[in-house]
């Protein structure tokens, strides 16, 4: 069977680079063939996999500079049925790509909102007054360059090579230690690993709502590597909490913490246990 | 003295509506005259106020659907010197504004990233395949309509009136209970109120890093209305925590919690105590 891997497209995105890394790992581990399936948005990438149109989705979940990719958390919470198979951390190094003769002639810069945010200091310093325009992906941004010589795009040098476009500056991210964590999602049950992700809502606005869950983990010596709040979308001040814990859901102390949390939470969703792979630059 | 109030522009934004609400309140309370000063980005709005170019900044900090406005938290943390004078909660009701004869002919939709995200379900349903383009503000989006009859923009009906542009659909937000909380910031010390905001970092990655601060507040019966993590931008997995607590920084039990937190935190920044005003639709 050929494994289809959905990712944010078109070809050349950072998500595709993460999907390629996962595909190589999978082929090496299992001998399975893979095929990459680009989708126009992160939400559509995840939904296609939930509907069985693709076997795997590789999506960004957090960047070291800009933080959470909210659409990923919101969609995974909503759809409920996907499980995390693996996390991949990739270094991110942005380039300013343009057909303009030099930086001074660039009037607008297209990119994904996360990439624009990760380079905002550089843009202010080197192309002051430039107008940022956010599109669905870093490589969708490149499609604007052929129509407009005074436009620039922020994407990877890999994308510039794929589309035969010139790099005017690189690297341009404001912080050198820029990396993104991706989740590999599928309808298969997750296997096992060093980390477990879950999310829960609590009965509306009880005082100390987050304290008790944190105590459930701390009292069992379970470290939480990440705590993220997202709105429930019911009313302002009403939150879901996403937690990554260090441990596997099959360990008895993790199981007992999760059982205690299930009794306390209004809704609890477990997204699986998995290993984190880090690719060096 | 005329009080200058900086906000995200151009005229017609939701931030301007919040600035107008604050200006009326200020004139009623103190008799002071006010003048509105639009800025092209939220970061520039906050920075201008920190540099004394404007007396007050009114900026969005959280939406009930899309969550945190990350640039506001990051800039306020970075600049350090601004204090919150007030919070304002405004209902948000989006309209699809366009010169196109009908929805079917619209190819691209411009707006602020938050507004695009708050209407993504509606866009998928009623203009499937439309290309979202994110710009700096909802009213900057309107500037594209005169050049392109097949473009739409998401902004308020107030903005449509100001610019004499037709509303094709309203309301189009995916969730009816959509509201945004704004902070009123200035270089003046904050006064007093029902809520206090602060943020802190902890020595790198200690287990249970957030549990102890939460216990410091819970043990004194202080309720936290919001907990938000943001990356420190040092490395993935290293966070700042922004907290809104219910209480005034002059209350002795709040003071003692803050003193305990100051001893524990790597860096602690207090953004002041203030009242929250809610405007009804």
Q: Note the pLDDT tens digit of each residue in B67-98.
A: 999 999 999 999 989 999 999 999 999 999 99
CATH topology of domain A2-91+179-186: D-Maltodextrin-Binding Protein; domain 2 (3.40.190)
Indicate the class that CATH gives domain A95-169: alpha beta
Q: Is the dihedral of CA B158, A107, B148, B65 positive or negative?
A: negative
Q: Is the dihedral of CA A173, A174, A179, A180 positive or negative?
A: negative
What whole-number distance in Å separates Cα of residue A266 and Cα of residue B182?
29
Question: What confidence score (pLDDT) does residue B7 get?
Answer: 98
All residues of chain A having their beta carbon less than 8 Å from the beta carbon of residue B133 are: 133-135
Nearest chain A residue to B217, by CA: A208
**For A23-46, what is the mean pLDDT?**
96
pLDDT band at B238 (very low <50, low <70, confident <90, very high): confident
Q: What is the separation, in whole angstroms, between the first and last Cα of chain A?
A: 32
Question: Which of A14-23, B97-106, B212-221 shows the lowest per-residue confidence on average (mean pLDDT)?
Answer: B212-221
On the question of a cis peptide bond just before residue A20, with omega within 30 degrees of 0, the verdict is no
All residues of chain A having their beta carbon less than 8 Å from the beta carbon of residue B151 are: none
pLDDT band at A208 (very low <50, low <70, confident <90, very high): confident
**For B197-214, what is the mean pLDDT?**
83
Residue A8 pLDDT > 80: yes
Mutate to test the interface with A, among B89, B208, B225, B247 (most CBs of A within 10 A): B208
Contacts across the A-B interface (CB distance below 8 Å): 109
Question: What confidence score (pLDDT) does residue A205 get?
Answer: 61
- Write down the ipTM of this complex: 0.91
Nearest chain A residue to B178, by CA: A235
All residues of chain A having their beta carbon less than 8 Å from the beta carbon of residue B213 are: none
CB atoms within 10 A of CB A44: 18
A17-20: Cβ within 8 A, 24+ apart: A17/A90, A17/A156, A17/A158, A18/A58, A18/A60, A18/A88, A18/A90, A18/A180, A18/A182, A19/A58
- One DSSP character per residue, B152-181 reads EEEE-HHHHHHTT--EEES---SSSS-EEE
The most confident of the ranges A54-58, A212-216, B147-151, B225-229 is A54-58
Mutate to test the interface with A, among B8, B47, B114, B207 (most CBs of A within 10 A): B207
What whole-number distance in Å separates Cα of residue A109 and Cα of residue A152?
5
Residue B25 pLDDT > 90: yes
Q: Give the one of B70, B117, B214 whose C-beta lies nearest to A67's C-beta.
A: B70
Mean pLDDT value across chain A: 94
Question: What confidence score (pLDDT) does residue A281 get?
Answer: 61
Mark yes or no for CB contact B229/A233 under 8 Å: no
Pick the CATH number of A195-276 from 3.40.190.10, 3.40.50.300, 3.30.70.260, 3.30.300.30: 3.30.70.260
CATH number at B195-274: 3.30.70.260
What whole-number distance in Å separates Cα of residue B268 and Cα of residue B198?
7
Instruction: Quote the minimal CA–CA distance from A50 to chain B in Å.
Output: 17
| pLDDT tens-digit series, residues A129-171 | 999 999 999 999 999 998 899 999 999 999 999 999 999 999 9
Residue A1 pLDDT > 70: yes
Question: What confidence score (pLDDT) does residue A21 get?
Answer: 96
Could you say which DSSP state residue A105 is in? G
Q: Which residue has the tokens 């009242």?
A: B275
What whole-number distance in Å separates Cα of residue B27 and Cα of residue B98?
36
What whole-number distance in Å separates Cα of residue B276 and Cα of residue A99?
49
| pLDDT tens-digit series, residues A169-181 | 999 999 988 999 9
CATH topology match: A2-91+179-186 vs A95-169: yes
Q: Give the one of A65, A132, A214 whose C-beta lies nearest to B231's C-beta.
A: A65
CB atoms within 10 A of CB B277: 16
Question: What confidence score (pLDDT) does residue B178 get?
Answer: 93
All residues of chain A having their beta carbon less than 8 Å from the beta carbon of residue B214 are: 208, 210-211, 214
**For B6-35, what is the mean pLDDT?**
96
Q: Give the one of A132, A233, A235 whose C-beta lies nearest to B136's C-beta.
A: A132
Question: What confidence score (pLDDT) does residue A99 get?
Answer: 97
Question: What confidence score (pLDDT) does residue B204 get?
Answer: 65
| pLDDT tens-digit series, residues A232-278 | 988 888 899 999 999 999 999 999 999 999 999 999 999 999 999 99
Nearest chain B residue to A68, by CA: B230
By DSSP bridging, strand B108-111 and strand B95-98 are: unpaired
What whole-number distance in Å separates Cα of residue A132 and Cα of residue B69?
17
pLDDT band at B119 (very low <50, low <70, confident <90, very high): very high
Q: Give the one of A181, A211, A225 whose C-beta lies nearest to B215's C-beta.
A: A211
Question: What confidence score (pLDDT) does residue B207 get?
Answer: 63
All residues of chain A having their beta carbon less than 8 Å from the beta carbon of residue B120 are: 43
Residue B208 pLDDT > 90: no
Question: What confidence score (pLDDT) does residue A204 get?
Answer: 65
pLDDT band at B43 (very low <50, low <70, confident <90, very high): very high
pLDDT band at B210 (very low <50, low <70, confident <90, very high): confident
Q: Give the one of A65, A214, A221 whose C-beta lies nearest to B210's C-beta.
A: A214
Q: Give the one of B133, B226, B236 whose C-beta lies nearest to A135's C-beta.
A: B133
Nearest to A189 by CA among A81, A68, A47: A81
Domain boundaries, chain B: 2-91+179-186, 95-169, 195-274
The two structure tokens encoding residue A5: 């891997």
Question: What confidence score (pLDDT) does residue B234 get?
Answer: 85
């Amino acid at each position: 069977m050929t494994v289809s891997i959905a990712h944010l497209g078109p070809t050349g995105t950072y998500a595709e680079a993460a999907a390629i890394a996962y595909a190589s790992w999978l082929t090496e581990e299992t001998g399975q063939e893979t095929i990459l399936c680009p989708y126009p948005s992160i939400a559509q990438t995840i939904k296609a996999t939930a509907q069985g149109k693709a076997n795997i989705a590789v999506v960004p979940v957090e960047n070291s500079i800009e933080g959470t990719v909210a659409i990923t958390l919101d969609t995974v919470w909503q759809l409920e049925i996907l499980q995390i198979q693996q996390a991949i951390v990739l270094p991110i190094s942005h380039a300013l790509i343009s057909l303009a003769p030099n930086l001074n002639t660039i009037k607008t810069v297209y990119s994904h909102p996360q990439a624009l945010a990760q380079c905002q200091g550089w843009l202010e310093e080197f192309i002051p007054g430039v107008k940022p325009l956010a599109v669905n992906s870093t490589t969708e941004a490149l499609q604007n360059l052929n129509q407009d010589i005074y436009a620039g795009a922020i994407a990877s040098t890999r994308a510039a090579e794929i589309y035969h476009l010139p790099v005017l500056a690189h690297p341009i991210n404001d912080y050198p230690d820029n990396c993104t964590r991706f989740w590999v999602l599928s309808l298969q049950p997750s296997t096992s690993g060093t980390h477990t992700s879950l999310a829960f809502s609590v009965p509306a606005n009880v005082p100390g709502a987050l304290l008790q869950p944190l105590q459930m983990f701390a009292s069992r010596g379970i470290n939480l590597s990440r705590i993220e709040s997202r709105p429930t979308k019911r009313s302002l001040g009403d939150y879901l909490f996403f937690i990554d814990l260090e441990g596997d859901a099959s360990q008895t102390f993790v199981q007992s913490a999760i059982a205690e949390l299930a009794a306390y939470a209004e809704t609890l969703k477990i997204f699986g246990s998995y290993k984190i792979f880090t690719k060096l630059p």
